[in-house]
Structures are given as C-alpha cells and as structure tokens.
C-alpha cells in the first residue's frame, strides 16, 4: 500500500511547528500512558512519535499502514526506489529516530481477535485514515472491556486550523498559496471525536489542548511567543492547535442465560400463584373454623 499523505506529514513534522507539535504530544502521551496497566498495547501510525515508550505493558506493538522510508530495509527497497514508487509533491525526508513498526496492516482490519488489547493509541490516525469511522469501530472491537484509547489530532477551531482553512479556500478559488498544515486528511474536531466515542460505548475521561502560539513558520518567531502557551491555557483553553483525548470502553448491562435465567423465571411465578389462590376464597378448613366461631 502506498499512501503519499504519510510522506507529506513526515516532511511537515521536520519543520519548526512540526517539531513543536511532536515535543508537546510526546510529553503529554508519556503522562497519559505511564500509569496504564495491562498486557497488550498498540500504537497505530506516526512512526516519528514513540507513544508507548513510557508504558510498562509487556507486549507493545507499533503498526504502520503505509509504505514508509524507515520500512525500506524491511522490504528490500532502497530509499531512491521508494521515493520513485510513492508519488508525492515533496521529497522523501530523512526520518526521525523512531522504532521500527512491529506489523504492517490496514487500520480498519486489525490482525487481532476481539477484546484482546488493553490500550490503543491513535496519534493523528483518524485524520489520515481512509475511513475514520471504520478505524474507530475496529479499535472498539479489539479493545477489552475497560480498555483505553488515546487519540491525538489537530484542532480545526484554533489559530492553526483557521489558517489551514483560509489556505484551502484560496486554493479552491485559484489564488494559490501554501497550506500551513499537511494538506492530506480532514481536520476532525474534538467534539466530533467525543460524539463518535460516545456512540461506540466509550466514556471520555479526559481531554486537553495545547499549542496556542500563532501559526508562524520560523523557529525564532515560535520561540519568542512561548508566553502564549500559559496565556492561552487560561484564557482560551479549547482553542489549542492540538488535542489529546483519553477514553475508556464501557460495557453496560448483562443478560441472564441458561440456568440462572430459569431460576429467575421460577421465582417470579410464586407471587402470582399465591395471589390467585387468595382470589378464589377461603379453603374448606378455613370455612370450618369460621362456622365454629
């Protein structure tokens, strides 16, 4: 499978705002997964981010759904051959130091049985997925009851998202211009992700935002506006450029089957039988006692 959008995202992550984004997400993901216990954890996509490095589960996998430069040695391709095979408007960049993917699969058809994983991390996975709904449904399938999912994504209701929308409008009108964020994929707001999780039976435990700096491209300009982080967190908490959502898979309600259900039905018939006997009047022995009185 060849997905040029992954290559474009990797190229953008080497820019100053991309490195700023990676630093924030790495720090927040370390906090989110460090105290989550279980046996099996999975990261879907974004090899530049080590989302499970702070987690202590014995089995941890990193999955990729696209032909990536860091996978070239695994499949016997040279980087030049890979660059020619993936049609992309940008050159294939030198990748960040990152763990090699443990498996290669479609995110809407994960090679895990139902209810087998304790943690799944989706760093910008829904934005680049072929169908984000199918991907999220597949995550719900493989998660155990009380399993956790952590989702990171760009916030369209932010300075970065508004600049991206303005650039897309200019391109549709034929005015040209360069987009601020990667062009592939749709920006999915935190509210929409909350609704999707709720429909699938998840309970959102925590959602937080980050990166309130204006959408500048230079590292010097971004560093000079570092004070905007503390101001934005207090004044505009929901307008950060990126969000992180943590949710738990809840299983509500149980159905009695087999012997337990038969016992319950048998106990429910007792009151109705007693009520019917009382409705027919006193027994002959009770009538005899009444006549003696």
CA distance to 40, 147, 247, per residue, from 250 (Å): 18, 8, 9
Residue 43 makes CB contacts below 8 A (sequence gap 6+) with 49, 51, 52, 60, 61, 62, 63, 120, 121, 123
Residue 293 CA, distance from chain mean position:
79
The residue written with tokens 């999975």 in the block is 42
pLDDT score for 186: 81
**Averaged pLDDT score across all residues of the chain:** 79
Position 29 pLDDT exceeds 90: yes
Position 82 pLDDT exceeds 70: no
Q: What is the DSSP string of 204-272?
A: EEEEEEE--S-----HHHHHHTTTHHHHHHHH-TT--SEEEEEEEE--------THHHHHHHHHHHHHH
CATH topology of domain 4-249: Rossmann fold (3.40.50)
Among 153, 152, 159, 181, smallest CA distance to 239 is for 159
Q: Worst-scoring range by mean pLDDT, 36-45, 91-100, 229-238?
A: 91-100
pLDDT score for 195: 96
Q: How confident is the model at residue 253 (pLDDT cuts 50, 70, 90)?
A: low
pTM of the complete model beyond 0.85: no
The residue written with tokens 């992309």 in the block is 88
Q: Where are the alpha helices (DSSP H) in 120-213?
A: 125-128, 132-142, 159-172, 190-199
pLDDT tens per residue, range 83-141: 433 333 333 333 334 444 578 888 999 999 999 999 999 999 999 888 999 999 999 99
Show me where the domains of the chain are located. Answer: 4-249, 259-292
pLDDT score for 4: 55
Position 33 pLDDT exceeds 70: yes
pLDDT tens per residue, range 164-215: 999 988 888 888 878 899 876 689 999 999 999 999 999 999 999 999 999 9
Comparison of pLDDT for 65 and 75, the residue scoring more: 65
Q: How far apart are the first and last CA of the chain?
A: 95
On whether the CB atoms of residues 55 and 33 are closer than 8 A, the answer is: yes
Among 7, 10, 12, smallest CA distance to 86 is for 7
Residue 39 makes CB contacts below 8 A (sequence gap 6+) with 57, 58, 59, 118
Q: How confident is the model at residue 64 (pLDDT cuts 50, 70, 90)?
A: confident
Task: Calculate mean pLDDT across residues 227-244.
Answer: 94
């Amino acid at each position: 499978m060849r997905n040029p959008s992954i290559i474009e995202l990797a190229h953008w992550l080497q820019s100053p705002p991309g490195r700023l984004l990676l630093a924030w997400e790495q720090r927040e993901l370390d906090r989110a997964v460090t105290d989550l216990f279980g046996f099996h954890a999975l990261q879907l996509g974004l090899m530049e981010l080590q989302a499970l490095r702070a987690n202590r589960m014995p089995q941890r996998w990193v999955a990729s759904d696209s032909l990536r430069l860091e996978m070239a040695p695994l499949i016997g391709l040279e980087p030049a051959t890979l660059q020619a095979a993936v049609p992309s408007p940008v050159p294939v960049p030198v990748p960040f130091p990152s763990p090699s993917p443990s498996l290669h699969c479609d995110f809407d058809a994960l090679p895990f049985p139902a209810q087998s994983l304790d943690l799944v991390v989706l760093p910008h996975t829904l934005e680049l997925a072929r169908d984000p709904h199918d991907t999220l449904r597949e995550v719900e399938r493989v998660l155990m009851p009380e399993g956790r999912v952590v989702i990171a994504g760009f916030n369209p209701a932010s300075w970065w998202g508004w600049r991206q929308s303005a650039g897309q409008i200019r391109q549709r009108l034929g005015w040209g211009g360069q987009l601020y964020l990667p062009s592939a994929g749709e920006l999915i707001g935190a509210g929409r992700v909350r609704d999707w999780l709720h429909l699938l039976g998840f309970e959102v435990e925590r959602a937080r935002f980050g990166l309130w700096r204006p959408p500048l491209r230079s590292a010097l300009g971004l560093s000079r506006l570092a004070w905007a982080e503390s101001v934005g967190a207090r004044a505009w908490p929901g307008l950060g450029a990126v969000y992180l959502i943590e949710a738990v898979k809840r299983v509500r309600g149980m159905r009695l089957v087999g012997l337990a259900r038969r016992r319950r039905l048998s106990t429910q018939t007792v009151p109705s039988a007693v009520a019917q006997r009382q409705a027919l009047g006193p027994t002959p022995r009770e009538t005899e006692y009444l006549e003696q009185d």
